[in-house]
């Protein structure tokens, strides 16, 4: 009887372990939702406003306190890090703190014209980690 009991116990334990691993895998994903809304993938350089909206919400939909920074990539290499400063013409000096959502305007420089770039917003929530929001762009005149 012990021989019949052991395999069944192992199957139950294996099933329980599998369930725990699945739960751990989903928990290791983002503990919150962040989004980036941008008008298109081909912004205009030289003073044309490219307006974005960034959000950070719990999985239940509640606004979260978060910070954001911008990273710009060319051929997989980070070429610049900038800090949002909505409502001002100059960028900030540290990650921008917000609750739930913020809007900003990106002004693309003429030097970016014609280059395939990745615009990344890194959204961080204390105690919940960070999420990279990547948006491919090709700036034109």
Residue 98's pLDDT band, with cuts at 50, 70 and 90, is very high
What's the pLDDT score for residue 16?
A: 38
What's the pLDDT score for residue 29?
A: 57
Question: Which stretches within the chain are classed as H helix?
Answer: 2-28
Q: What is the mean pLDDT of residues 47-62?
A: 92
Dihedrals phi, psi of 112, to nearest 5 degrees = -85, -10
What's the pLDDT score for residue 91?
A: 87
The pTM of the full predicted model, rounded to 2 decimals, is 0.78
Which range is least confidently modeled, 2-6, 51-55, 102-106? 2-6
The helix (H) or strand (E) run that includes residue 83 is none
């Amino acid at each position: 009887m012990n021989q019949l009991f052991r395999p069944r116990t192992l199957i139950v334990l294996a099933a329980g372990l599998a369930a725990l691993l699945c739960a751990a895998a989903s928990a290791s994903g983002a503990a919150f939702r962040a989004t980036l809304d941008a008008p298109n993938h081909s912004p205009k350089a030289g003073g044309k406003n490219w307006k974005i909206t960034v959000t950070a919400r719990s999985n239940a939909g509640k606004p979260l306190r978060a910070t954001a920074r911008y990273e710009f990539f060319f051929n997989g290499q980070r070429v610049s890090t900038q800090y949002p400063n909505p409502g001002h013409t100059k960028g900030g000096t540290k990650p921008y703190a917000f609750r739930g959502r913020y809007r900003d305007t990106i002004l693309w420089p003429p030097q970016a014209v014609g280059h395939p770039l990745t615009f990344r917003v890194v959204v961080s929530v204390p105690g919940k980690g960070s999420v990279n929001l990547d948006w491919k762009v090709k700036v034109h005149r």
